[in-house]
Structure 1
Amino acid sequence: MTDMIALWIAIVAFFLFGLNHFFSSRNAGFGLRFPFAFHTLKGWKQSQSRFYRLVMLLNILIFLYSLYIDLNEIRVMALSIISIVFSGILIFLISFKE
């Protein structure tokens, strides 16, 4: 039951992904303040969508892995936090490449 943390993070990321899809202009102010990385609202929306999809995928994999191998709650939480940080760094670096 303690491995549900990763599943909850994936569910929240799915909810935020939906909000980003339908109401992307609400949170665009932060991304558009970095003109060297995001020139348009579309670029910011794409970067956020990639981030949420990657967080969902990694946390679902962590959830399935924790079902297969009995992990304690601290390790699942640490892997989930690492997946969020890794996703953010990876998407940030990809935005400079484009």
Structure 2
Amino acid sequence: MYIEKLNLKHNGECGYVIKKDHHEVGSFILAEQEEGVSRLQQLSVAEDVSKAGILYVFELIQDYVKEEEIRELQVESHSKDLNHLLAHQQFECKDEEQQLWTYKVINN
């Protein structure tokens, strides 16, 4: 799988597609919150993507933001299942009330 950036950018938001063998399997938006901080929004994946595949999608996005020199990735969770997945992927819950999770990108 790989990420392809779309040429559309609006108000600090940029769209991306996730592809496997040149076929689209998902999409998402990164919305810039401030310099070096982006929020993952509207992540969707095809129904046939397995749970392990979803973990791989998060790893792919985390690697991508590291390459783009984003220092923090934010995700607003809407479910306990997503909370569990985010914790597994080294995200930390920054705001319990809003269920805002953050991933601090470590650049070596």
TM range (shorter): under 0.3
TM-score by length of 1: 0.26
TM-score by length of 2: 0.25
Which is greater in Rg?
Answer: 1
In proportion to residue count, which structure has more helix? 1
